[in-house]
Structure 1
Amino acid sequence: MRLTTVARMDISAGQVHVFETTVAPAPGAHPDGHAASFDQARHAGAGSRPGSWLAVAFAVPPVGLGRIGDAWRKVIDRHGTLRTVLREDAATRTTPPGSPRLIRTHDIVVTGGQWRRVGDGSADPRGVLRELFDVACDPFGTPSYRLTVTTHEDGTRTAVIGLDHSHGDAWSLLVLARDMLAVLGVGEHEGVDLVDGGVPEMPASVPSFADHTRDLERRPTAPTEVRNRWARIMADGDGVMPRFPLSLGDVSSPRDEVVEVVDVLDTDGVAALERAAQDAGVRLLPLAVSVLVGVNHRMDAGALRAVFPVHSRRGPDGDRRRWADSVGWFITNSVLECDSADPLECDAAVSDAIGLGAYPLEPLLRPWGGMPQTPGMFALSWLDNRRLPVQLPAEAQPQHVSAWIRTDGVMAWFVLNNDGMRLRVRYPQTPEACQTVGTWSQLVTEGLREIAGVQDAEPVDMVS
């Protein structure tokens, strides 16, 4: 699944339709709802704003909109997460500005839905989708997701499912697209076939993210060594999360984003990099971390320190796949620290970061008032789609679509698919950040290619 932005996604001209659902409170639902997850509360606590969503685009068979809408209703019925909404607790709506906002999840039912034509088909679908999702896919939307279908001049159709980040992550996008294609019976239609031409068996429902949140609340408190490790991390960062180690200029307020997308390696290059990692006695991620540490040293930027998202979908013993087919924000944050380019030491640093992310974050960061919102924050994400248990056929042309936002930090995604490795970097549009982050991403790309033995590097594709 290719990672792209709403401004650069691959979608031809056509008429956009959106499926608008009607909802109501679920019968018997608790009037006060349930506690939102730590990340949901942080995300929604920032309030309604454009660009808080993510989306998946994929080709669907040329069937009627009625059938596509019915399929979407079945997917909603399957996923309890799509039958929840976030609301701010009434008691906190009158608290002074800057006070914590209490966010709760509430159960809903979908009572109906209908297709609505958006525009007259003359506008670029990218702009239409951005405008639509910026309003509809809001943290407090009821619901906070939308299914759209763009019908192109040649009769083909592209579905795009957008949802607020509080209800999904990159893995969830794969799940939604897979389930839609399966319910549509893809395999009967030319051009978009599931692997082996089959439709995977799907139970009528899967555990919801709200179940996962309650499961986390019941887990034992993190051991003393983990609490002490977080205390050292926060002390080393003067009480804030890791920041990009080079100048970003004035980021006292968010700036327009700049996005660089680099095709780092093709499949042969990734295979060569994997052989190099095996020779070093590690997997791909620690080897990539060794390159990042080396770039930091080369740029006199000190040790590598970055926020490191870790997925939390691992189920209990005997049911490891409990959350594999669910939709939700199954991500927690850890911190990756390393000052040695030795791959074995980088491997130990990665293991340490994953271990830190194995425990609920809210009680660990409570002494600092939760996870601090730090201007200049630096985060690294590693997603190897090849290893996920959820796969999409290449014929569906799946795309992970990010929103356009304003930002004051740096986020880098390393994404591996069956066609190679890409690096996507987002940072604020300041002269200093364009220089420092642009140089950093170029050196990282060159370092990975050098280990893989790749010459004649392609230029960086910068998107602003």
Structure 2
Amino acid sequence: MRLIGSDDLLPRPGTVLLWSVSADPAAARVQEAPPSFNQRTHLAGTGRLTWLAVAAEVPGPIQRADLARAVLGLLARHESLRTSFPRTPHGLRRAVHPAESLTLRPRPARAVASPTLVRDVVTDFVSESCSRPWSAPAVAVAAVDRPDRSTIVIGIDHALGDAWSLTVLLDDLVQLYRGAPADPVATPAFGLHCAREAATVVDSGDPRLADWLRFLRAHGNAPPSFPGPTGVPPGEVRRAVLRTDVLIGADDADAAEASCRALGAGPFAGALAALAHAVAAEDDDHHRSRSLSLLFPLHTRTLPDENRAVGWYVTNAPVTVAVSNNIRSTTRGAGFALRAALPLGAVPIDTVVRALGELRRPRHDVFMASYVDYRRLPGHATHGPLDARHVSAVTDADDVQIWFTRTDTGLAVRTRVPDTVIARATVDRLIERMRVHLTALARPAILAADPAPVQ
């Protein structure tokens, strides 16, 4: 799975086909469990709602009836895709639409002659369809029909799913499109997750809550910001730029992971250690006693079969990585820090905010880094042949966000930063430094000590 921004979705020209999901609001059933914290925070935003999409290439022209049947099968299988968020006198609620009440409404087909225009037509449609989650499911279906090989795009408002969900959507869609019968095993409803979250109580004396508060208070009652230069003054934003870079190939990624395991750490610890060294070099070429603090997302798929469910099964935890004198020592320490941080993810963020009293947000974005090994997610074997892409809407940004992705081809990183000359140059330096440190982690016999920081 390749991670790209919507600006970089450039399908070959063809005939663009578009379908929106139509629903009868009167048939929707308002749920007792409220929207999750992530959903409430996302839907309360003052700017454009963000969306996610999965794009894939399929052989031959689009079989329109088969695609419509496959999409309706997806909607029936996954409750999250049939969810809307009506505003009621009691606040924002979740409503689930019966599958039989949903229909696909096609728009007139349109021949489009350039990749950039195809991109604009498709992404404008997804943005429009995924910006109204209040009365109907915010799901969009698009395709670019060609005689030899066609493109399919499924877009959802972020409230309906996460990155893991996109791999489930793609795997289910491809199987249904190819004629496989619908899986008779029901996937867990995301409403169960919302109910669990709402019912979770953490005592005020819980040490996990104390660790959260200690972390936030150390940063002025706020999440930490990226410590390097971005060129964006406080209170301002710029249009985001998303880029994806390969850090190390498959052989080096395997070797780096083996080194991490030998150090008692996982591959995310190695990636965070490389990032910590790269960031430390921004201010201090010696970086011997520095640390890097950020939030990291982790999945909350704990029930049986939730690995095949669609929903926003994500929470966050705080971590601080101490920068040692070499990448191996830092990786070992990052492993300890991540293990200590994992239990903090079980504390609802609502509870943390209430206990803190006042959560400051000096920036709109949160400085975060995540790690996803797509080889362990549903359908990974088809990602290469399908040229599968996770597409994110490009909006505004005022901080740095980082996604490490492991696939069969190696370790890559997607960065999202404000589109400034300073931020672009900062990312250039970070990428080169991380490559050096990860190579050192993969080849300790060749690079026994960290080289001088990249200038």
TM-score band by shorter chain is 0.7 to 0.9
| 2:187 matches 1:206 | yes
**In structure 2, how many angstroms separate the alpha carbons of the residues matched to 1:161 and 1:427?**
25
The answer to whether the 8 A contact 2:21-2:139 is kept is no
- CA gap 1:369/1:150 in 2 versus in 1, 3 angstroms: farther
Match of 1:351?
Answer: 339
Give the one of 219, 230, 234 matched to 1:237. Answer: 219
| 2:143 matches 1:149 | yes
**In structure 1, how many angstroms separate the alpha carbons of the residues matched to 2:63 and 2:128?**
26
Question: How far apart are residue 271 of structure 1 and its match?
Answer: 1.5
- More displaced 10-residue stretch of structure 1: 15-24 or 384-393: 384-393
| 2:3 matches 1:3 | yes
- CA gap 1:276/1:108 in 2 versus in 1, 3 angstroms: same
Match of 1:192?
Answer: none
**In structure 2, how many angstroms separate the alpha carbons of the residues matched to 1:403 and 1:391?**
23
**In structure 1, how many angstroms separate the alpha carbons of the residues matched to 2:29 and 2:358?**
29
Match of 1:37?
Answer: 36
- CA gap 1:306/1:28 in 2 versus in 1, 3 angstroms: closer
Match of 2:102?
Answer: 111
Give the one of 236, 241, 244 matched to 1:261. Answer: 244
Tell me the TM-score normalized by structure 2. 0.86
Mapping for residues 61-460 of structure 1, pairs under 5 Å: 61-62=59-60, 63-90=62-89, 102-109=91-98, 110-117=101-108, 119-123=110-114, 124-138=117-131, 140=133, 142-152=136-146, 154-185=147-178, 202-203=183-184, 205-221=186-202, 224-249=206-231, 250-300=233-283, 302-315=290-303, 321-341=304-324, 342=329, 343-368=331-356, 372-375=360-363, 377-393=366-382, 394-453=384-443
The answer to whether the 8 A contact 2:235-2:362 is kept is no
Match of 2:14?
Answer: 14
**Identity between Structure 1 and Structure 2 (%):** 26
- CA gap 1:231/1:259 in 2 versus in 1, 3 angstroms: same
**In structure 1, how many angstroms separate the alpha carbons of the residues matched to 2:215 and 2:369?**
16
When the two chains are superposed, the root-mean-square deviation of aligned CA atoms in Å is 2.5
**In structure 1, how many angstroms separate the alpha carbons of the residues matched to 2:88 and 2:216?**
30
Question: How far apart are residue 66 of structure 1 and its match?
Answer: 1.2
**In structure 2, how many angstroms separate the alpha carbons of the residues matched to 1:130 and 1:313?**
30
Structure 1 residue runs without a partner (length 5+): 92-101, 187-198, 316-320, 456-464
Match of 1:60?
Answer: 58
| CA deviation vs aligned residue, 1:334-385 (integer Å, no higher than 9, x gap) | 1121214422221111112222112322112223468654416311011111
**In structure 1, how many angstroms separate the alpha carbons of the residues matched to 2:28 and 2:268?**
47
AA aligned to 1:12 is R
- CA gap 1:352/1:60 in 2 versus in 1, 3 angstroms: same
**In structure 2, how many angstroms separate the alpha carbons of the residues matched to 1:150 and 1:331?**
32
Structure 2 residue runs without a partner (length 5+): 285-289, 447-455
The answer to whether the 8 A contact 1:174-1:392 is kept is no
- CA gap 1:204/1:10 in 2 versus in 1, 3 angstroms: farther
- More displaced 10-residue stretch of structure 1: 361-370 or 442-451: 361-370
Tell me the TM-score normalized by structure 1. 0.85
The answer to whether the 8 A contact 1:56-1:162 is kept is yes
The answer to whether the 8 A contact 2:28-2:97 is kept is no
**In structure 2, how many angstroms separate the alpha carbons of the residues matched to 1:369 and 1:121?**
54
